Amino acid sequence: MAWRKPLFAYLSYLGLAAVASALLVVLSDPLERLFQPLPGGVHDYRFWLAVAGSTVLWVGLFAVLHRLPSRGKQRVVVAATFVAGTFYLLEYFLPGHSGLFFWRPAHGNPFTPLKQPVGYAASVVAGFTFFLATLNLVRNHARNLARLKAGWYNSLAFFIAFLAMATFGLWNAYVPENELAARWQGWLFGGLYVPLNATLFSVLAFYMATAAFRAFRVRSAEAGFMMATAVVVMLGQVPVGMWLTSSLPLDGPWSSLRVEVMANWLLGVINSAALRAVGFGLLVGGLAMSLRLWLNLERGAFFEQEL
């Protein structure tokens, strides 16, 4: 029957979650001992042995993953995602002290001590993603520069800015007593990057205003109400708008008709309520998407079929 296939799939996911939970519980104590800091720190030879061993292990693992077919790589990613999601589910949803963990001291959750090391591992993975993004940028801009494509001077500017910021930034970070590195790093960041960033956003503000003016048409009562609200908010942010109602008293019932008071009320009450509603919707959507990714229910470009 039609209901048997999804029921079997959900039971399979529950079984996999139970197996993964049991595996994480069994490995929690050895992993906790594995992530204990060494008393000698970087001066202990075991630290460097652990670094060398983990480097060799991960290089070998990546070599094996590189030789897997696409289907095999997808299964590895799905399995890793499922185990990681199960870990955080057990950490944050199971009580910290209960009879479920009777073999632990004070019946504590065995996953709590692993939360910080797993967070460090996630930071390392995020660092790899930044490295891959940088490598992709360098490769694309190097190709544009080598072939002198249209806009090649933008690629040249990218390399000059990237090398300058990386050189003086790392120099200032690792040799903080060097005044030349600190001066150049401060000039590049505070004297060049910050003004360029402000200029870009100021230009974007004009583009957004002109695009809103072209796209917005008052064709209904709702659109007219929205236009009036936008005019009040904009007038409340500039001195001209405040001057228009400056004759009204600052206190009393008539003060609520001042433009800046109405603008603050619209932003602080109406707009905040709408933003919170949107935020709730985003959180619920993020939770649903997380469950789909965790249970391998998502379909898209990476997955086996398109929706």
Asked if residue 3 has pLDDT above 60, the reply is no
The tally of domains found in the chain comes to 3
287 located within any domain = yes
Higher pLDDT, 124 or 40: 124
- The reply to whether 65 and 22 lie within a common domain is yes
Confidence label for 33 from pLDDT (cuts 50, 70 and 90):
low
Q: Is the pLDDT of residue 15 over 80?
A: no
Dump the DSSP string for 133-166: HHHHHHHHHHHHHHHT-TTHHHHHHHHHHHHHHH
Residue 112 neighbours by CB under 8 Å, 6+ apart: 91, 96
Say if residue 105 is in the same domain as residue 48. yes
How wide is the angle at C-alpha 248 spanned by C-alphas 245 and 249, nearest 5°?
A: 140
In this structure, the answer to whether residues 167 and 210 fall within a common structural domain is yes
* 165, 201: one domain: yes
Q: Is 133 part of a structural domain of the chain?
A: no
Predicted confidence band at 236 (pLDDT cuts at 50, 70, 90)? confident
What pLDDT band is residue 306 in, cutting at 50, 70 and 90?
very low
| pLDDT score at 79 | 80
**Among the listed ranges 4-18, 213-227, 274-288, which one has the minimum average pLDDT value?**
4-18
The parent domain of residue 71 ranges over 17-124
162 with 73, same domain: the answer is no
Angstrom CA distances, 280 to 266, 270, 275, 283, 288, stand at 20, 16, 9, 5, 12
Is there a single domain that holds both residue 199 and residue 280?
Answer: no
The answer on 192 and 109 residing in a single domain is no
Residue 252 in any domain: the answer is yes
Burial of 259 (0-12, 13-18, 19+ CB in 10 A): buried
Instruction: With beta carbons less than 8 A apart as the criterion, state whether 97 and 106 touch.
Output: yes
- Do 22 and 104 sit in the same domain of this protein? yes
Mean pLDDT of 258-271: 85
What pLDDT sits at residue 101? 65
Residues 284 and 199 placed together within one structural domain of the fold: no
Tens of pLDDT along 173-208? Answer: 777 777 787 888 888 888 888 888 888 888 887 887
Highest averaged pLDDT of the listed ranges 29-38, 190-199, 297-306: 190-199
Judgement on whether residues 59 and 118 belong to the same structural domain of the protein:
yes
Query: Cα–Cα distances in Å, from 198 out to 123, 155, 158, 194, 195?
Result: 30, 22, 19, 6, 5
Residue 6 lies in a domain: no
More confident residue, 127 or 35: 127
Shared-domain flag, residues 224 and 197: no
Confidence (pLDDT) at 305: 47
**Would you say 13 and 295 are in contact if contact means Cβ atoms under 8 Å apart?**
yes
**Is 129 domain-assigned?**
no
Kindly indicate the confidence band of residue 29, based on its pLDDT and cuts at 50, 70 and 90.
low
Average pLDDT, the chain: 77
> Which of 215, 230, 249 is the last residue in one of the domains?
215
